[in-house]
Amino acid sequence: MNQRNLTVSVVVLFLASTGFLGGCGGAGRGARGMSIEGLIGAGAKAGAAMSMSEADEDEMGRTVAIAATNRWRLLDRPALTKYVTLVGLTVASTSSRPDGNWVFGVLDTPELGAYSGPNGYILVTRGSIAAMEDESELAAVLAHEIAHVLNHDGLEAAKHAKMNEAGLEAMSAADQRLAAFNQTSDFVVKTVLTSGWNQSQETKADSNAVKLLINAGYDPTGLPRFLKRMQAQTGSGGKAFGTHPGTADRISRTTSQIGSGKPGATNRERFVKYAAEARL
Amino acid sequence: MKCKLKLASVAVAALLAGAGVASAEEVFVKQTSIVIRAGKGAAYDEVGKAVKGDKLQIIAREGKWLKVKTNSGEGYVFETAVAETKPGDDMSGIGKMLGGASGSSTASDAAAGKGFGESLDWAKSKRMSPAGLNRMIALRKSVTGKDWEQFTDEGKVGPAK
């Protein structure tokens, strides 16, 4: 991870909202409705552009996990969750952040879906696990979400949040910061759980997921195989995972990327044993 | 366990040095905070923590992992978490930028695993419960390095050994 990639981000928003940009042509005060990118630009001109720390990123990731586990219940199956965690840790162990904060959960819904918040909070639905046939498919879905985390897609989303500064001036600095955090979190949560990542982010996450699967020794065809099953359930233009590119395109791209490399582990037997808990 | 962690944190703090360039056997932490673990992977128990700018003494290099010294023993950090030169002070978090308005933004807080608590305030404002998140974290902590080693061995997956 390159920390410089995190430059700007929400911190500048906080600076703007608390008057730190007051000397920049009133960019902060007069920015009601301005996009965070606009505020970031103004902040950068004032030399105020900063980077988000891991602790800040972690708080943003926690809001995503809280929102997801309130929209759906967290599945109360410790053995299955432990299994998902072990698969996820295995995939992450060969990534650029094997020492990262990787936390996994299973959402109690029959819907197909998987979600990731900044700094490694990853959730997969019971419905997705029930639709899988082996461990490489689970690893593939987790690898896709891990790739979003590694690419800091959540923070990228934060940059595009809109800031409503109404009433901020009357608040204390701490309250201003909280208000700014809340508004940014609203947008990040909406992006992760509802509107989805953009097509470029999704394509990159698929590509990096294939690499992660190969590095971890899993059969990378787990990704296109699961996508085909998803396609069968949702149709060729299916967007079962938010705004992901059309499933047919994803299958084509990942299959082409994998080529005729040597197959990896599928571990079907132990997957079937644990996945039974997802088929309630 | 908590006592051990505290000791380890103190130990890492004791290794702090002034600005400059680390010797061949030392590196600086470049992330806000890092966890020093008993083994080479996120599944292993914490044996200590260190914060940005801390100097760590290297015992050995094992692939991309560095075995470092803490007061309570030895532990591992990943190579991308550290640098040979001391990092600048430009990524200290929101609270510091606001003059400590939150009162919880110090490096030592980060090392203690504390964020700024905004996620809990956010949840409260939405009338959401953090119970699910707390269960996720508790379940994660229940997975040990030994569990993971057994899992990867049985499934013939994971990093090359």
* Residue A89 contacts residue B42 (beta carbons within 8 Å): yes
Q: Cα A78 to the chain's mean position, in Å?
A: 23
What whole-number percentage of chain B has pLDDT above 90?
50
For A37-76, the pLDDT digits (tens) are 433 333 333 322 234 556 678 899 999 999 999 999 999 9
d(CA A196, CA A233): 19
Contact predicate A97/A150, CB 8 Å: yes
pLDDT (0 to 100) of residue A121: 97
B18 vs chain A: nearest CA distance in angstroms?
A: 22
> A58 or B6, which is more confident?
A58
How far are the Cα atoms of A180, A202, A212, A227, A241 from residue A144, in angstroms, in the given order? 29, 8, 9, 12, 11
Residue among A236, A238, A47, A206 nearest A140 (CA)? A206
Chain B contacts in chain A segment 140-169 (CB below 8 A): none
Comparing CA positions, the residue from A225, A233, A227, A229 lying closest to residue A203 is A227
Contacts of A265 in chain B (CB under 8 A): 155-157
Beta-carbon separation of A55 and B114 below 8 A: yes
Residues of chain A with Cβ-Cβ distance to B136 below 8 Å are: 65, 69, 74, 103-105, 121
Rounded Cα–Cα distance for residues A226 and B105 (Å): 43
CB A116 within 8 A of CB A103: no
3-state secondary structure of A74: strand
CA B8 to chain A, closest CA, distance in angstroms equals 18
The rounded distance, in Å, linking the Cα atoms of A111 and A128 is 7
Query: A86 in contact with B at a CB cutoff of 8 Å?
Result: yes
Provide the residue-wise pLDDT of chain A in tens; the chain has 280 residues: 343 333 333 333 332 222 212 222 222 222 333 344 433 333 333 322 234 556 678 899 999 999 999 999 999 999 999 999 999 999 999 999 999 999 999 999 999 999 999 999 999 999 999 999 999 999 999 999 999 999 999 888 887 777 777 777 777 777 777 788 888 889 899 999 988 888 899 999 999 999 999 999 999 999 999 999 888 887 654 444 544 568 889 999 999 999 987 789 999 999 999 999 888 6
ipTM, two decimals, is: 0.79
SS3 A135: helix
Length of chain A: 280
Kindly give, in sequence order, each residue whose CB lies less than 8 Å from that of residue B60, ignoring residues fewer than 6 positions away. B66, B67
Task: Say if the Cβ atoms of A3 and B31 lie within 8 Å.
Answer: yes
pLDDT tens string B19-76: 455 555 899 999 888 899 999 999 999 999 898 899 999 999 999 999 999 777 799 9
Taking the C-alpha atoms of residue A218 and residue B158, their distance in angstroms, rounded to an integer, is 8
Average confidence score pLDDT of chain B: 77
